[in-house]
Amino acid sequence: MEKKTPLISLDSILHATLLLLALVFIQEVQGIGVNYGTIADNLPPPAEVAKFLSKSTIINRVRLFDANPELLRAFKDTRIEVTITVPNNQIPRVTNLTVAREWVQTNVQPFIPSTKLVRMLVGNEVLSTANKLLISNLVPAMQTLHVALVELSIESHIKVTTPHSLGILVNSTTPSGARFRQGYDTHVIKPMLSFLRDSNSPFMVNPYPFFGFSVDTLDYALFLPNSGMVDDVTQLRYTNMLDAQLDSVYSAMKVLGFEDVEIVIGETGWPTKGDPAQIGVDPMSASEYNGNLIRHVTSGVGTPLMPNRTFETYIFALFDENLKPGPTCERNFGLFWPNMTPVYDIQIMRNTAIGVAHYRHKSLLIIMYATMSTMTTSLWVVFTAVGGGKMFLKPLKPHLVTRTEMKNTNARLTTFVVQA
CB closest to ligand NAG, residue no = 177
**By CB under 6 A, residue 176 contacts ligand NAG:** yes
267 is catalytic: yes
Minimum distance of ligand NAG from residue 102's CB (angstroms): 8
175, 305 contact by CB (below 8 A): yes
Closer residue to ligand NAG in complex, CB, 276/307: 307
**By CB under 6 A, residue 171 contacts ligand NAG:** yes
R_g of the chain computed on alpha carbons? 25
Number of residues interacting with ligand NAG: please give it, by CB under 6 A.
11
Neighbours of 130 (CB within 10 A): 9
**Site residues for ligand NAG, window 220-249 (CB under 6 A)?**
233
Angstrom CA distances, 102 to 67, 91, 93, 106, 140, stand at 13, 13, 11, 6, 16
**By CB under 6 A, residue 303 contacts ligand NAG:** no
As separate numbers, helices (DSSP H) first and strands (DSSP E) second, the chain gives: 11, 17
259 is catalytic: no
Catalytic residue among 81, 155, 267, 288: 267
Q: Which of 197, 204, 104 is nearest to 154 (CA)?
A: 104
Minimum distance of ligand NAG from residue 236's CB (angstroms): 11
Closer residue to ligand NAG in complex, CB, 190/350: 190
Query: Could you tell me which stretch among 81-89, 118-126, 170-178, 348-356 binds ligand NAG (CB under 6 A)?
Result: 170-178
- ∠ CA 29-32-35, rounded to 5°: 150
Binding-site string for ligand NAG from residue 88 to residue 127, where x marks contact by CB under 6 A and - marks none: --------x-xx----------------------------
Beta strands 263-268 and 313-315, pairing class:
parallel
Helix axes 132-151, 190-198, angle to 10 degrees: 10
Q: Which of 130, 53, 142 is nearest to 94 (CA)?
A: 142
399: left (phi over 0), alpha (psi -120 to 50) or beta: beta
Binding-site string for ligand NAG from residue 129 to residue 168, where x marks contact by CB under 6 A and - marks none: ----------------------------------------
Catalytic residue among 2, 48, 102, 125: 125
Residues in touch with ligand NAG (CB under 6 A) = 96, 98-99, 171, 174, 176-177, 179, 233, 307-308
Give the catalytic positions in this structure: 125, 267
